[in-house]
Structure 1
Amino acid sequence: MKKNKWIALLLFLTLPFFLGGCRSFLVPQDKPLALNNTLLQQKNPQSKMEILSFENIGTGTVQDISYDGSTLLLLNTTEAPPITYNINLLKVSENENQLTSFVNSEKHQLSAKFDEYAKGVFYVEKGLDTGNEKSSNQLIWTSIDKSVTKTISSPEENVNSNICIVDDSSVIYSNSNNQIVMATSEGDRRIYHTVRSIPVHDIQYYPKNNAVIFTGTDPTDDQKTNLYLSEIKDGSDELSSTLIDENVINFDINRQNGSIIYTQNYGDSNRIMSYSISKGAQPSVVSEGNFTSAAYTPNGEKILYTQFSSINTKTSQSIWIMDANGKNKLQISAPLTLTSAIIAHPYKSTIYFSIEKKRETATSDTKGQPISQIYKIDYNIN
């Protein structure tokens, strides 16, 4: 009889693990590590994922990677006074990583992107507050040899931090005046506005259709963010916007074929959706779950995505990869507190990302911003 009581007690204590799923039991939460191959086999004996290497390669928030995969673009903040905000270049190689200072400023850089062939860097910089006047964000371009720096935006603009590289010298961005601006590093500018003056958040460009894809606030509901498509017409500064979908969190476009993937808030969960610009058909569901981001790999064949577990906090996200059609989901990392997007190498099975420092060593700058560490994962799908 006593033995039966012990068995009942054991079942009572272990039942929540099985009902809640075994993910947090097998995978450490909020630890800066990838799933090792033993854990992968425990979670899924048929897993085709193999982690080849996983390493911390520096400090900062990774923003972009050069077209040839040789250099990462980082945002850094000094940890001790005097506080400066920095853009750094991290040259990555199998033997040694080399860090180079690119921009040092008392002004805060909000985002940065290489131009198409890494001849320079476009970045959005927050101005200094002066008295009662609120500062504005400006778009700046600096040549890679640091010999030339130009302010691309106009002084009266307040540039949104999400920018998109168009070609070897052009960038497209939006501002707080609800304008969309196409500009070059030489200073040429063309200003567009949407018919309904939609406030634009994130923006990307599809060259084949000369089209702008963007998320923006719903004109009738400022609590809703939608995904829109606008084709730029010759001789017109007005953009007629087509609604693709509502309640969109973020998105990415495959420039090779015009396919768009996006994460969408859908009731109690988020799902990954797909839409084809060329086909113009209705959006289709790729996968349903607790997704926080999704982006194509550079060749467009797979989707890198992040998700949180329903039994973990939403701030901890694991990194996964799947086929573009939503099949063959494979987990790459344990749940992590990500502070950057997942940056994929242009032709290798390598990803880079930033996370908050581990809790026992967490530090912040004087403005309370968490200090991030950069990690690299090499993986192989058998």
Structure 2
Amino acid sequence: MVFRSAQPPSEPKKVQAKTGRRAFLWKAASGLTAAALVTHGCGGSSPNGHADGGPAVHTSPKVRWRLASSFPRALDTIYGVADTLAKRVSDLTNGAFTIRPYPQGELVPAMEVLDAVQQGTVQIGHTASYYYKGKNPVLAFDCAVPFGLTARQQSAWLVHGGGLELMRSVFADFNIVNYPGGNTGMQMGGWFRRELNNAKDINGLKMRIPGLGGEVMSRMGATVQVLAGGDIFPALERGAIDATEWVGPYDDEKLGFYKVAKFYYYPGWWEPGPSLSFMVNQAALESLPAHYRGVLEVAMAEADHDMIMNYDRKNPPALARLLEAGAQLRPFARDIMELARKTSFDLMEELAAKDAGYRKVYEQWSAFRDASYQWFNTAETEYAAFARQMMESKG
């Protein structure tokens, strides 16, 4: 809550400086207003999709971009962020700047979106940065690491806590400028064909799980695979994998995992608040007129904010439907959680000891995480615990 001191009626109100995301949206909106008073040339199309050259006319330049997504079109919330972005960009430029999204596999494979953006095959991608930890392990922090930040904490770290600046220094090596591209919120632990009674049951488990969480599960004894969303169900159905994680009830129901694996575990300790990313080719971004860059940034911010609200609306009824269909909820055993946490931080400490770049991000992130947890545990966690007790006492 913000308290403002009253001013005498005779004094004019002072205009306060805007900070953070409000300032970002204000500047971008101001740029759009100013752009309406400026004329631009319109002519041939450059390799980046930017129309330039030719005689000056009283219209905005035509820009046509392509977006590669790591997600199948059927998952309307996680893939739908790309559609939201494209619609807002088109609406804000009266159709002069358009972005055409392509689902996983239509232009490039799901796990090669970063490569496509880096090479300029597409101007923009929508993906999860931890898919590319093989290129640089620190990229996982742009998305999620085990026992890390919740969705609100992750957004706070990226936008106001210095995270975005740190991550952009890493993405610069790939000729990419990254922006937050939505968050699913706390994820589920996934679908298992058999129960996990203790940590020993992970030995030999064949599981689809990407990111640093996959490496942790591997160290705990699992055989890990990384599969694109559209490829998971067939692998689970034919027994190529014993378990899989994806996002949460709404997407999991669409993908049909409950039909072949009935045990639904929680929580997804490896992804407490995963932030997806818009990855923009640096040359393509720099080729845009200034007001189009403002449009793009505003549209990305809207799409980023919209995703978690959409999931928070859709997940509760989806979970109820899954339970009615026979899914059996199970919490991970305490020893699994404790072993996973120890393994996770041992792994991150090892990576930090080996690489100064990783250590720089890890130490800054760790300090932010510790302070954030102290605050959230003061109010948020206590309230959530009380609310849960009241709900359980009612039924």
Q: Give the TM interval when normalised to the shorter protein.
A: under 0.3
Larger relative contact order (CA 8 Å, sep ≥ 6): 2
TM-score, length of structure 2 as denominator length:
0.21
Greater percentage in helix: 2
TM-score, length of structure 1 as denominator length:
0.22
Greater percentage in strand: 1
